[in-house]
Structure 1
Amino acid sequence: MDQPTVGILHPGSMGAAVAACAAANATEVLWCEAGRSPASVARAEQAGLTPVPTLPELLDRSDLVISLCPPAAAEDLACDVSQHRFTGVYVEANAINPERAQRIAALLGPDATVVDGGVVGSPPVGGKTPTLYLSGRVDATERIESLFAGTAVHTKALGTKAGKASALKLSYASFQKTSRVLVALAVGMAREHGVDQELLEVASRRTDSYLSEPGYIVKTASRAWRWGPELEEAGHALAAAGLPPEMLRAAASTLARWNDAKGDSELTLADALDRLAQP
C-alpha cells in the first residue's frame, strides 16, 4: 500500500505524539500553523511535522486526516473541514459521545470516509503504548492500521458502526477519570481533619486502589481542562443509554475548579488540594 500524506488537527500533547508515530509510515505529516500557539509550534517541530499555512492546503495535500482536539471543538472543526469537501479518510479520534461521532460522520459524508476513533492510554512517548480503537469501513480501518504498524500506537478495529470506538473510549474514561477525582476529594477531606497520612496508610494496604497514588492528584489537576469536557461527553452518553449521568457531571464540575492549573509546572499536591477547596 502506498504511503499516504497525513494531516493532523491539531498537535496537542496527544496529537503531536500520535502524528510522530504516523510519520514512520507516511510520506509526510502536515499540520496547519494558522492561529496556533507557540507551544503547538514547538510540539510540531519536535515531532518532525511539516507546517502548512492554511486548512484548505492541508486538506488538499492530505490523503488521511486525524482529528485530535479538545472535545468541545470536534464538531466545529469537522464543519470547517466539510466546507472544503475533503475526499480522503477522516479519523474522528476525539473523546466525544457516540451521537456526536455519528453526526460528524453524516456531516462529512459522502465526500469523506469517516472512521470513528478513540485513543485509550497516555501519549506514545517514553515507552507508553496507547491503543487507537477504530470503527468504520473495513478498507479505511485497514489503512489506518497500516499507518501505525510497528509504532508505539497500537490499533484495534471494533467493526463498521460509527460510535463504537467513541463509546469504548468514554466508557473507560468515565471510570478512570472519575476515580481520580474521588481520590482528590478523599485526600482533601482527610487533610482538612489532619488524617491524610493515616488515610494513605490505609490505602497502602490496597495497592490496586487509585487511593494509594495521591501524587497523581497533581497530574489530575493539570489535565482537568480536558478531562472535565470528556466526562461531560460521557455523561451525555450515559443519558442517551438511559443511565443516570449525575455522577460524571458532578466529577466534571469538580474538575472545573482546576481549570486554571493547565500548564502549571510548579503545582504541588498541597496547591492542588487548596485550589480544590476554593470555588
Structure 2
Amino acid sequence: MDQPTVGILHPGSMGAAVAACAAANAAAVLWSVQGRGPASAARAEQFDLTPVPTLWELLDRSDIVISLCPPAAAEDLARDVAEHGFTGVYVEANAISPERAQRIAALLEPDAIVVDGGVVGSPPVRGKSPALYLSGAAAAIERIEALFVGTAVRTMVLGTEIGKASALKLAYSSFQKTSRVLVALAVGMAREHGVDQELIEVASRRSDSYLSEPEYIGKTAARAWRWGPELEEAADALTAAGLPPEMLRAAASTLARWNDAKDDSELTLTDALNRLAKP
C-alpha cells in the first residue's frame, strides 16, 4: 500500500511530536498555517512538517487527518472539516467526552471514516513513548497502526465503538490531573501554617505520591489553560454516566486561577502557589 499523506490539526506540543512520528511512515505530513501563530510555526519547523496555506488545501491533499487541539475547539474544527466534505480517515484524538466524540463522528460520516483516539502519556520526545488508544472501524484502525509502526507512539486497539478511546483517556486524566490539583491545594494549605516541608516529608515515605513532587505544581499551573477544559469534558462524561461531576468541576475552577500562566516554563513553586491563593 502506498504511504498516505497525513494532515495534523494542529501542531501543538503533542500534535507536532505525534505528527513527526507519523512522518516515518507517511508520504508527507501537512499542517495549515491559516490562523496559526509563530509558536505553531516554530514547532512545525522543528519537526519538519510541510506547511500549506489553508485548511482546505490540507484536507484536499490528506488521506488521514489527526485532530489534536484544545478540547473546546474539537467540535468546531470537526464541523469545518465536515463542511469541506473530507473523505479520508479522521482521527479524533482530543481529550473530549465520549458523547462529544460520537457527535463529531455523526458530523463527519458517512463521507469520512472516524477513528476515536486518546493519547495517554507525554509527547513522544526525549525517550517518551505515549500510547495512542484507538476505537472504531477495524480497517481504518489498521491504517493508523501502520502509520506509527516502529515509532515512539504505541497504538492500542479498544474495539469498534466510537467513544471507548475517549472514555479511557478521560478516566485516566480525571485521576491524574485532579491529583495534581489536590497537591497544590494541600501544599498551599500546609505552607500557610508553616508545615509544608513536613508535609513533603510525610508524603515521601509513601511510594508514587504526587505530594512528594511539589516542584510539579509550577508545571501544572503552566498547563492549567489546557487541563481545565479537559476536566470539564471529563465532568460531562461523569454526568452522562450518572456519577457526580462536582469534584472535577471544582478542580477545573481551581485550574482557571492559573489561566494567565499559560505555558510559562519559568514559573516557580512559590509563584504558582501565590497565584492560586491570590488570583
Normalization by structure 1: what TM-score?
0.99
C-alpha distance in 2 between matches for 1:231 and 1:91: 21
Pairs within 5 Å for 1:1-279: 1-279=1-279
How big is each residue's C-alpha offset from its partner over 1:85-115, in whole Å with a ceiling of 9 and x where there is no partner?
0000000000000000000000000000000
SS for the counterpart of 1:119 is: strand
- Runs of 5+ consecutive residues of structure 2 not aligned to the other structure: none
One-letter amino acid of the structure 2 residue matched with residue 232 of structure 1: E
One-letter amino acid of the structure 2 residue matched with residue 106 of structure 1: A
SS for the counterpart of 2:2 is: coil
Cα deviation for residue 207 of structure 1 reads: 2.6
Once the two structures are aligned, what percentage of the paired residues are identical? 84
One-letter amino acid of the structure 1 residue matched with residue 81 of structure 2: V
Greater than 2 Å deviation, 4+ residue runs: none
One-letter amino acid of the structure 2 residue matched with residue 34 of structure 1: Q
C-alpha distance in 1 between matches for 2:224 and 2:135: 28
C-alpha distance in 2 between matches for 1:200 and 1:98: 37
How big is each residue's C-alpha offset from its partner over 1:42-76, in whole Å with a ceiling of 9 and x where there is no partner?
00000110000011100000000000000000000
SS for the counterpart of 1:117 is: strand
Cα deviation for residue 35 of structure 1 reads: 1.2
C-alpha distance in 1 between matches for 2:20 and 2:277: 39
C-alpha distance in 2 between matches for 1:84 and 1:72: 20
C-alpha distance in 2 between matches for 1:22 and 1:61: 16
- Runs of 5+ consecutive residues of structure 1 not aligned to the other structure: none
SS for the counterpart of 1:91 is: strand
C-alpha distance in 1 between matches for 2:219 and 2:153: 22
C-alpha distance in 2 between matches for 1:156 and 1:94: 16
The size of the alignment, in residue pairs, is 279
C-alpha distance in 2 between matches for 1:178 and 1:263: 19
Contact 2:85 2:111 in 1 (8 A): yes
Normalization by structure 2: what TM-score?
0.99
One-letter amino acid of the structure 2 residue matched with residue 256 of structure 1: A
C-alpha distance in 2 between matches for 1:185 and 1:129: 30
C-alpha distance in 1 between matches for 2:268 and 2:216: 11
SS for the counterpart of 1:158 is: strand
SS for the counterpart of 1:94 is: coil
